[in-house]
Amino acid sequence: MKIFYNRPFIVPRWIILLVDTCIATSSFILSYFILDEFRFTELVRGHFFIYAGLFAVTAMTTFYFMRIYKGLIRYSNTKDMFRIFSAVLIVSLVYPIISELIASRIYAIPRIDMPTLLVLNFFIGSSLLIMLRTSIKEIYILAKGSVLTNVKRVLVYGSDHHSILLKQAIEDAGAGKVIVCGFIQSGGKKINSNIEQKRVYHTRELADLHKKFNIDKVILPNNQSGNSAIRGVVDHCLDLGIQVQTVPPSEQWVSGKLSLGQIQDLKIEDLLPRKPIQINNHLVSKEIIGKRVLITGAAGSIGSEIARQVLSYHPEMVILCDQAESPLHEIQLELEEKYPSTRIKTFIASIRNLRRMIIPFKEYRPHIVFHAAAYKHVPMMEKYPEEAILTNVMGTRNMADLSVCFGVDKFIMISTDKAVNPTNIMGASKRIAEMYVQSLNNASVNPPSSEFLSGLLQDGDDDTLSVKNSNKTRFITTRFGNVLGSNGSVIPRFSAQIQHGGPITVTHPEITRYFMTIPEAVQLVLEAATVGNGGEIFVFDMGEPVKITDLAINMIKLAGLVPGKDINIVYTGLRPGEKLYEELLNEAEKTLPTHHEKIKIAKVIAGSYKEVLNEIETLTELCKQGDHLKLVGKMKMIIPEFISNNSEFSKLDEKPKRKVLFVPAYTDSIKIQ
C-alpha cells in the first residue's frame, strides 16, 4: 500500500485504451456464449472470430473518440462513469450496422440475435469497466488513508446535486489531503444508501462516525449554516470538537473549480439564535435609485457597508466622508473597482468642522445623508467626555443643520441601544444627538447656523441655500445594538486572543448583548430610511440577547479548540460606564409595528427645538472649560435617566434630585407609510 501511494505511476494512455478494449471484447465474448448456451462448436466455423474482431475494432475506435482513457483512474468521478455508459451505448448502436455491412453481406455469415446480445453485453461491459475504475480508486484511497497522517477526513452535509458536486470538488481540490468519508443529513429516503461509493448517514450517527473515522470536519454546501434545520447539527459538531466549514455556491468557484482556499470556517454570526433578516429590496431601490447620497463615517464598518449596499441600488452619486485617510482610500478603491459606472466621490474632513463640511453639500447637493460618524468606545469616552460631546453631539448638529440649509430630502442618524437609559458618556451623547435631530424635524424656524452659513458663502455666489424650506428635510433615527465584526467589537478581539493561545477576557460572566451582523444592520437602516416620514426613532428586533461568555465559548469551538483546556476564559470586571444588560427601549417609550416585523417605532414627543439647542450650546461652552464634572453634570440634567455605572461620575447621581428638563411622552397617533 505504501509503495502504491508514495510512488504512483501513470499508466500510458494507449495501455488503458487496450485494457478497456479487451474488457469490452471479453464482455462481448461472454455474452455471445451465454446467448449460444456455450456451444463451442461455433468456434470451428470461424463465425465467432469475425463477430468478435469487428466488435473489438468498433469498441476501440469509439473509446478513442470518446476519450474514456484520458483521465487518471484514481480520480474518476460521476462524469467519467457517465462517459463510459455513453461509450458502451454508442458501441451497441454502431456495431449492428457494421456487422450487417461486413459480416452478413461480405462474408455471408448467418445473422445472430443481435438485440439480445447487445443488451446483455451493454450491462456486462459497462459494469466491468466501471468496476475496474472503482476498484483502482478504492485501492488508492485505502493506500492514502494508511500512509498519510495529516489527511483530513470530512463529511459533506446533504445528498442532493450540490452536495455531490461538492464531494467531487473536494476530492479533486484536496490533492490527497482530504478524504470524504460520506454524506450526512437529518433524514430522507437516501439514508443508508450509497452515492459515488459513499454512504449517506443520519445525523444521529455523528458521534459514532467521529470515533470510527476520526472525522475532522463537516462541510456545508452553499452556506446552509443559517438554515434552522441544521443548527442542531452545527451545535452537535461543536460539542464533539468537529470543525464546521462552508463553501460558496458553485457559480462562485474560480473557473468552475473549487479551491481549498474557498472552504471557509463557519463564522460566529452564523450561530446567532434567530433567522437571517430579509428586507424589501424593491422598496429600498425606489428610494435610492438616481439619488445623490452622502455618507459620513464612510470608512468605518457600518459606514462602508452602507456605501456597498447603497451602490447596489444604482444611485447617481455616492459621497464618502471620513477623517481617516487610509481606510477611506481603501474603501474608495474597493467600490470604484466593483461599481465603475457610478460616480464615487471622497471627502476627508471632521464633522466637527462646519466650514469644511459645507463643501460636499455645496458641490454635490446630496438628496440623502446617512450619518454614521461617531465616537463609540464606552471606556474611551468616559475619559474624554468633551470629545463625545464635540463629535457625537456637535458633529451631528453640524450635519443636521447643513441638511436643512441645503434642502436634503432625508437625514438618517445611526444611533445605538446605549442611548436608552444611558449609563455612560457615549450613550448619553448619542441620546442628546437623538433629541436634537428629533426637535429639528419639527422645528418651525431655521437653524441658527443658516445665517452663519450664508455669511460663509462668497459674495455673488449663485448658489443659494434652501433656508426657506426648513421643514423639507425629514430626520430619521435608527437604533440597534452591537454589530458582529465591527471595528473594535468583541469578535476581532476574541479572534486575536485565540490566535495567541488565550486567554479570552470577558468583563462579567453574566454580561449580555444584542447582536446583529453588519449587513443585517445596514439592510434595516436602509429600509427604515425608506419608510420613515420624519421624527421617528426606529428600533430593530435583534432577537434574544446573547451571553458574551457563550459567544467566547462558541468562538473557541469554531477554532477547533476546547474551552477551559486549550483556551481559558478570564473575567476582568465591568469597565467604566458598562452595564450588564443593554436595552433597546426606554421604559417610558412605546413601540408601534411597521410593515416589517423586525422594525418597530419608538415614538416620543420631541423636546422644544429652542430648549434643546440652548442646552447643547451650553454643553459646547462647558467643553471649552475642561471641567468634566460640570460637563457630565449638565448632561445628567438634560437626560434625567442617565445614571452612571462603575464610573467616576457616579458621585453626581448621589444628589437628592436633579432638575428634569425633558420627559418622554407618547403621541396619540402615528402615521406609518
Q: How many domains does the chain have?
A: 3
Shared-domain flag, residues 155 and 88: no
3 pLDDT higher than 60: no
308 pLDDT higher than 90: yes
User: For residue 445, is it within any domain?
Assistant: yes
Shared-domain flag, residues 114 and 239: no
Where a domain ends, among 99, 117, 141?
141
Name the pTM for this structure: 0.66
Shared-domain flag, residues 286 and 247: no
What percentage of the chain exceeds 90 in pLDDT?
Answer: 22
Shared-domain flag, residues 201 and 296: no
pLDDT digits (tens, 9 = 90+) for 547-587: 888 888 888 887 777 888 888 888 888 777 676 776 655 54
What percentage of the chain exceeds 70 in pLDDT?
Answer: 70
Q: Name the E strands within 457-523.
A: 474-480, 482-484, 504-506, 512-513, 515-517
The domain of 252 spans: 149-266
pLDDT digits (tens, 9 = 90+) for 149-164: 567 788 888 877 777 7
User: For residue 672, is it within any domain?
Assistant: no
* CA–CA separation, 182 and 427 (whole Å): 52
Q: In this predicted structure, what is the pLDDT of residue 94?
A: 78
Shared-domain flag, residues 526 and 379: yes
User: For residue 233, is it within any domain?
Assistant: yes
Where a domain ends, among 93, 124, 141?
141
pLDDT digits (tens, 9 = 90+) for 611-668: 899 999 999 999 988 889 999 999 999 998 888 888 888 888 876 544 444 444 433 3
Task: Give me the residue label for grid cell 440652548.
Answer: 614
Q: In this predicted structure, what is the pLDDT of residue 367?
A: 94
Report the interhelical angle of 548-558 vs 490-499 (nearest 10°). Answer: 40
Shared-domain flag, residues 344 and 488: yes
Alpha-carbon torsion 632, 637, 642, 646, what sign?
Answer: positive
Instruction: Provide the CATH number for the domain around residue 206.
Output: 3.40.50.720
Task: Give me the residue label for grid cell 462517459.
Answer: 83
* CA–CA separation, 59 and 64 (whole Å): 8
Shared-domain flag, residues 70 and 162: no
564: left (phi over 0), alpha (psi -120 to 50) or beta: left
**Neighbouring residues of 329: CB distance < 8 A, sequence distance ≥ 6:** 346
Shared-domain flag, residues 178 and 97: no
213 pLDDT higher than 50: yes
Residue 129 pLDDT grade (very low, low, confident, very high; cuts 50, 70, 90) = confident
332 pLDDT higher than 70: yes
User: For residue 274, is it within any domain?
Assistant: no
pLDDT digits (tens, 9 = 90+) for 285-297: 888 999 999 999 9
- Of 306-320, 324-338, 488-502, 640-654, the one with minimum mean pLDDT is 488-502
* Mean predicted confidence (pLDDT) in 176-183: 76
Integer angstrom CA distances of residue 208 from 150, 204, 233, 559: 21, 9, 14, 22
Shared-domain flag, residues 314 and 433: yes
User: For residue 134, is it within any domain?
Assistant: yes
Shared-domain flag, residues 350 and 477: yes
Shared-domain flag, residues 136 and 162: no
Closest among 433, 599, 473, 585 to 528, alpha carbons compared: 599
Closest among 276, 123, 130 to 197, alpha carbons compared: 130
Work out the angle at residue 427's Cα, subtended by the Cα atoms of residues 571 and 373, and round it to the nearest 5 degrees.
Answer: 110
DSSP string, 125-143: HHHHHHHHHHHHHHHHHHH
Where a domain ends, among 239, 266, 293?
266
**Helix intervals (H) in 321-366:** 325-338, 354-364
User: For residue 394, is it within any domain?
Assistant: yes
Shared-domain flag, residues 319 and 260: no
**Arithmetic mean of pLDDT over the chain:** 76
